A and B are shown apart, each in its own frame.
Chain A
Amino acid sequence: MSRGDQGIEVAGLHKDYRVHRRKSGMLNTVRSIFHRTYETVPAVRDLSFTIEPGERVGFLGPNGAGKTTTLKILAGLLHPTAGRVVVAGHEPRLREHRFLKRITLVMGQKQQLIWDLPPVDTFSQNRAIYDLSRASFDATLKELDELLGISAIAEKPTRQLSLGERMKCELAAALLHRPDVLFLDEPTIGLDVSMQLAVRDFIRAYNERTGATTLLTSHYMDDVAALCPRVIVIDKGRLRYDGALGKLVEKIRPDKAIVLRYAHRPDRAALERIGTVTECDDAKAVVRVARPDLREAVANLLLDPELSDLTIEDPPLEEVLRELFAQSAAESA
């Protein structure tokens, strides 16, 4: 299948918002009735990327970076100010029904389930709206039930479901029409750890089974690390990084953390000869070592008979991103 059939192409995307500004105070409130001041705020600036069919890509950035704006443009909800966007061979802003049948957008903070009715009713409604045959609907629902385990909860009113149960049903409702492209905006927000894992496993399994192109935003870096071999990072609407997640970590933090556990207080001076000691207490030490020196450092550390445990860790993704955003802020300044 060619990229145009199921992939995503974004070239030179710009999106500006016109925002009304008003200072606080009664006088300014009255003044704003007669004279309004507007300001153009750029939300996305010259953003370009391509996503191949079937790829799982993490879309990262701090709050206000333009992630949700971009997802809404890709789903056809917002019109770009400039630039070219093609999703599954369609121009999203035209919102053709053929296009809408091929995509889905799940927003963790907004729901499509009918609040006072059981999710099965939303499923039936979607079957009618997407014009799905009974056989195809039943088969997809069965498959989604295998992955999500929703049969026991789908007949309870949505309002009586827990947040996690609701998200499972939201995902099922959003995927009944077997979309080729999935936009997932914070799908695990507010969920407990086990439910986050369940949703994560489901997204991976769905992508592997159907080959659907998946673009995911999440503030939980574990979601991104577990699901997305590739990440696109934006900040203040601009592209900051596009590539493999591992390469991003290597680029920003070219060292690794060696976590050591001892039966006694470790010798800090000896450790400092091996790398940068970031933590050293009664029984634990953390030493940062450049990646090329890792093998030699580990070999030296293992010579210590008092060492009881050694693990090698990448820096947390949150830290990596914080450094990336700090670097880009410094560059902008």
Chain B
Amino acid sequence: MRILSAYPTLLRIGFANAVAYRTEMLVWMLTMTMPFVSLALWSAVAESVPVGRFDQKSFVAYFLATIVVRQLCGAWVVWELIQEIKSGTLTSRLLKPIHPLVVYSADNIAAIPLRALFAAPLALIGITSGGTALPHEPHRVVALFLSLFGAWFITFFVMVIIGCLSFFMESSASIFDIWIACFMILSGYLVPLELFPSWVRGVAEVLPFRYTLGFPVEILIGMSSDAAIARGLVIQLAYGCGSAAMALALWRSGVRRFGAFGG
């Protein structure tokens, strides 16, 4: 109950912090525009003949949706965790009678409105490009929001898992680099997954990366069937629960180690 009553204040403070860091955040958001490069490339490829189901307009819609979804579902808790564990500043969070992950989550969620401001014009261009079939049936709209929340949830807890590895090793930043490299390829960030050979698609279907980006993007631009959406949501739920459970277990064990070795 206390978490629920505290959360609005945590969100307000998190938003104020995001506004204070607006310039850094804008620069950081600009680093997430790699899909523009993919857009230029694939638009050129699809100029004369569609690639699979994608013509030029579909590529515009897809990659703009990719940027929008990444802005809405992004988190950065991994960097905070690594830095605070290494410097020992985590101690001030551990002294508070609230789970630090609750405060981290509020900080990350609170920045979404600011990032939505950046994403809004792109979404508008995407909508007017003619390459999308935005979901309008209520069940698809609900599914879209669930998938966006699921994508953020998995991203957040995977970041917590990787950040918590810093309790056990010098720094887990390099592990996160590996995660990002796989994410670029297997989430649909740079190339729509359906353009990959079927075996790569098969791998991407079972790994978590697609469910942090490609899956909500496909719902957003109307490229998923109802059956695919239902299956995707179930897989997202499984990854969400699994990543949260693993993150909490690693956190507990990490804090015990922090307590044993000092911070």
**A117 with B20: in contact, given A69-B262, A79-B259 (CB under 8 Å)?**
yes
Residues of A within 8 A of B96 (CB): 100, 126, 129-130
Q: Does B21 contact A (CB under 8 A)?
A: yes
Per-position contact with A for B83-107: 1 when CB-CB < 8 Å, else 0?
0000011011011111000010000
Q: Which of A106-114, A263-271, A318-326 contacts B (4 or more CB under 8 A)?
A: A106-114
Query: Is A121 a contact of B95 with CB atoms below 8 Å?
Result: no
- Distance between Cα atoms of A41 and B16 in the complex (Å): 44
Query: Is A97 a contact of B97 with CB atoms below 8 Å?
Result: yes
Query: Is A124 a contact of B13 with CB atoms below 8 Å?
Result: yes
Query: Is B16 a contact of A131 with CB atoms below 8 Å?
Result: no
Query: Is B92 a contact of A117 with CB atoms below 8 Å?
Result: no
Q: Which of A70-78, A242-250, A305-313 contacts B (4 or more CB under 8 A)?
A: A70-78
Residues of B within 8 A of A107 (CB): 91
Q: Does A127 contact B (CB under 8 A)?
A: yes
Query: Is A111 a contact of B92 with CB atoms below 8 Å?
Result: yes
Q: Does B144 contact A (CB under 8 A)?
A: no
Apart from A125-B10, A129-B6, list 15 A-B contacts with CB within 8 A. A17-B262, A77-B95, A78-B260, A95-B94, A97-B97, A98-B97, A100-B95, A103-B95, A105-B91, A107-B91, A124-B9, A124-B13, A126-B96, A129-B10, A131-B5
Residues of B in contact with A (beta carbons under 8 Å apart): 2, 5-6, 8-10, 12-13, 16-17, 20-21, 88-89, 91-92, 94-98, 103, 256, 258-263
| 20 sampled A-B residue pairs with Cβ under 8 A | A17-B261, A18-B261, A69-B262, A75-B95, A76-B95, A77-B94, A78-B262, A79-B260, A93-B259, A97-B97, A97-B98, A103-B95, A107-B91, A112-B92, A114-B17, A128-B6, A128-B10, A130-B96, A130-B97, A131-B2
Cβ-closest 6 pairs across A and B: A128-B9, A97-B97, A116-B20, A128-B6, A100-B97, A112-B92
